Amino acid sequence: MTILRVFKSRPVVAAAAIAAVVAVSAPAVAHRAWMLPSATVLSGDDVWVTVDAASSNDLFYFEHHPMRLDNLAVFSPDGKQIKAENIATGRYRSTFDVKLSEAGTYKMAIVNDSLFASYRVDGQVKRMRGATPEKIEKEIPKNATDVRVQEVQSRMEIFVTQGKPSDTVLKPTGRGLELAAITHPNNLVAGEKAEFRLLLDGQPAKGVEVDIIPGGIRYRDKLNDVKVKTSDDGMFSFTWPEPGMYWINAGVRDDKASYKDAQRRASYTATLEVMAP
Amino acid sequence: MRLMFSAALSAAIVVPASAAEMKVSVEIPRMTVAEYHRPYVAMWLEKAGDPKVVNLAVWYDIKLKQNEGAKWLKDMRQWWRKTGRELEMPVDGLSSPTRAPGTHEVTFDDAKLAGLAPGEYQFVIEAAREVGGRELLRIPVQWPPKPGAEGKAKGEHELGAVSVALKP
């Protein structure tokens, strides 16, 4: 209702805002958000990867919304942040390039951590997205009721290796939901078992359901998704049935938000390439 | 204890003393395709349960400027995962140019095989062709070899007849 009303009064801005919100919050809601690298295992001295980023129903087809790249961070094998090149956003997808000038494993991550507030004022429900604590204190009127604040932490990652895989970029940050690789994410082969540990704020995330979906959905009738639950030490393992790109996603809700009395929603998403043996 | 020690010693003496040799014959098939590139080929020896392999040869586009040919080395994907990604190509005594269709003989001698621990090995050859396919063949190899030891395999598309002849 609120969205409709805003839409009528300020159509252009509102449409952009809606698109952005869907893209950003996609992992936890209806559509699937993803990044898709042109390759993850590379050889040679002067090589590049190009990456598509979008949110869509089918993996990995850009048919719905482009991903916002405002919070994209690219890390070279030594852990330093480097620049993505040729960044562009089209109608259905965003894209960027990364030059792999060093040997080792690169990480590309889109990390969002912001507050979402909803409240009622003069009988109307208002929403505030991408908010900061200061903004909430300042902009929510004193007479507002039903104030609800949620912290949304989402992390989406891909990994790409030129030459020998390395570990520096795999170190967890200790914030939000993250994947700690036991099996290196660029050393995955069909028919082999891979092991990972899911962490929440750096601690094992136990009993969390991880959704694993192979790409290529458009050309089959079934989703072929597999759900695995993390053990008490946050571990999960999976034997890749086929080579290809896989989308993995997990989410948790709790009350450990950085903002007072807020709920926290944390999600992790990665696209992993599984090679043929 | 003393007995075991002397047995190990004598084995150590026997192996490097031989001027062992491995002769490999590789057929690169002739193809009638619109766009033909000579295949990249890697050959190595591996032993079950041992992550270390013995690299024998890597044929690739070593002459391209700025080592551009290295971009496709990863297409020999088992070789790349087992050992290629650990190397700084080109490697002296390992890399050489790609070969034309036909049968090629290569001989590996002491320099490569000395120090090879006795056991059951697999000779592995992997070929990957730009805009084409990829094929991998295995031939079991016993080391040190018996006189006249030989093994054969036949590829279906990227490789033709491959044979390995060993001389103790």
Nearest to B132 by CA among B85, B72, B66: B72
Q: Are A246 and A271 in contact (CB under 8 A)?
A: yes
Q: B70 vs A275: CB contact, 8 Å cut-off? A: no
Asked if A249 and A211 count as a contact pair (C-beta separation under 8 A), the reply is yes
CB B45 within 8 A of CB B82: no
Report yes or no: A50 and A42 within 8 Å, Cβ to Cβ. Answer: no
Q: Is residue B29 part of a domain?
A: no
- Interchain pair B72, A165: CB under 8 A: no
For residue A33, give the DSSP letter: E
Count Cβ atoms below 10 Å from residue A91 Cβ, excluding itself: 8
CA atoms within 13 A on the CB side of A214: 17
The CA distances from residue B161 to B59, B128, B152, in Å, are 17, 16, 7
Task: Express each pLDDT in B11-28 by its tens digit.
Answer: 444 444 557 899 999 999
Phi-psi category of residue B102: left, alpha or beta, with phi > 0 → left and psi -120 to 50 → alpha: left
Instruction: pLDDT band for B2, please (50, 70, 90 cuts).
Output: very low
Best probe of the A interface among B40, B62, B67, B74, by most A CBs < 10 A, is B74
CB-based contact A43 B81, cutoff 8 Å:
no
CA distance B52 to chain A (A): 15
What backbone torsions phi and psi does residue B130 show, to the nearest 5 degrees? Answer: -60, 135
The helix/strand/coil state of B74 is helix
What distance in Å separates residue A33's CA from the closest CA in chain B?
A: 29
A-chain CB neighbours of B74 within 8 Å are 41-43
Query: CA-CA distance, A210 to A212, in Å (whole number)?
Result: 6
CB contact under 8 A, A43 and B71: yes
Chain B residue nearest residue A104, CA to CA: B85
Q: Are residues B60 and B69 in contact, defined by beta-carbon separation less than 8 angstroms?
A: yes
Facing residue for A164 by CB, picked from B68, B70, B86: B86
Helix axes A11-25, A2-9, angle to 10 degrees: 140
Contact list in B for residue A45 (CB cut-off 8 A) is 66-67, 70
Q: At A14, is the pLDDT very low, low, confident or very high (cuts 50, 70, 90)?
A: very low
Asked if the structure places residue B60 within a domain, the reply is: yes
Residue with tokens 């946050």: A234
What are the backbone angles phi and psi of residue A116, rounded to the nearest 5°?
A: -125, 125
B85 touches chain A (CB under 8 A): yes
Does residue B139 fall inside a structural domain?
yes
Distance from CA of A192 to the nearest CA of B (A): 14
Contacts of B133 (CB under 8 A, 6+ apart): B157, B158
Q: How many CB atoms lie within 10 A of CB A126?
A: 18
pLDDT at B166: 93
Q: How many domains does chain B have?
A: 1
DSSP code string of A171-233 = ---SSSEEEEESS-TT--BTTSEEEEEEEETTEE-TT-EEEEEES-GGGSSS---EEEE--TT
For residue A13, is pLDDT > 70? no
Q: Is B84 an interface residue toward A (CB < 8 Å)?
A: yes
CA nearest B36: which of B28, B45, B44?
A: B28
Query: A88: helix, coil or strand?
Result: strand
Higher pLDDT, B145 or A274: A274
**pLDDT higher than 90, residue A26:** no
pLDDT at position B104: 98
- pLDDT per position as a tens digit, B70-123: 999 999 999 999 999 999 999 999 999 999 999 999 999 878 888 889 999 999
Chain A's closest residue to B77, CA to CA, is A277
What single DSSP character describes residue B115?
T
Cβ pair A46:B66 closer than 8 A: yes
- Please report where in the chains the tokens 């609120």 appear, as a residue: A2
Q: Is residue B21 part of a domain?
A: no
State the residue range of the domain holding B62: 36-167
| Chains A & B: contacts with CB separation below 8 Å | 39
What pLDDT score was predicted for residue B8?
43
Tell me how far the alpha carbon of residue A159 is from its chain's centroid.
13
* Closest approach of B40 to chain A, Cα-based (Å): 13
**Whole-angstrom distance, CA of residue B58 vs CA of residue B132:** 18
Is the residue at B22 inside a domain? no
B23 within some domain: no
Return the residue of A nearest to B78 by Cα: A277
Q: Give alpha helix (H) positions in chain B.
A: 2-17, 77-82, 110-113
Q: What type of residue is A128?
A: M
Helices vs. strands in chain A: H and E counts, helices first = 3, 19
Contacts of A188 in chain B (CB under 8 A): none
| Cβ of residue B80 closer than 8 Å to a chain A Cβ | yes
Each residue's pLDDT tens digit, B34-71: 999 999 999 999 998 888 899 999 999 998 888 899 99
CA distances from residue B57 to A163, A198, B83, B119, B137 in whole angstroms, order as listed: 19, 41, 12, 21, 15
User: Can the peptide bond before residue A75 be classed as cis, meaning omega within 30 degrees of 0?
Assistant: no
**Residue B18 confidence (pLDDT):** 54
Side-chain-side CA neighbours of A253 within 13 Å: the count stands at: 4
pLDDT digits (tens, 9 = 90+) for A180-221: 999 999 999 999 999 999 999 999 999 999 999 999 999 999
Res. A20: pLDDT tops 60:
no
In this prediction the pTM is 0.85
Residue contact B81–A46, C-beta within 8 A: no
Give backbone dihedrals phi and psi of B77, rounded to 5 degrees, phi first.
-70, -30
| B132 in a structural domain | yes
Contact B71 A44 (CB under 8 A): yes
Nearest Cα to B25, choosing from B130, B102, B121? B102
Within-domain flag for B1: no
From the list B68, B77, B89, the residue facing A275 with the nearest CB is: B77
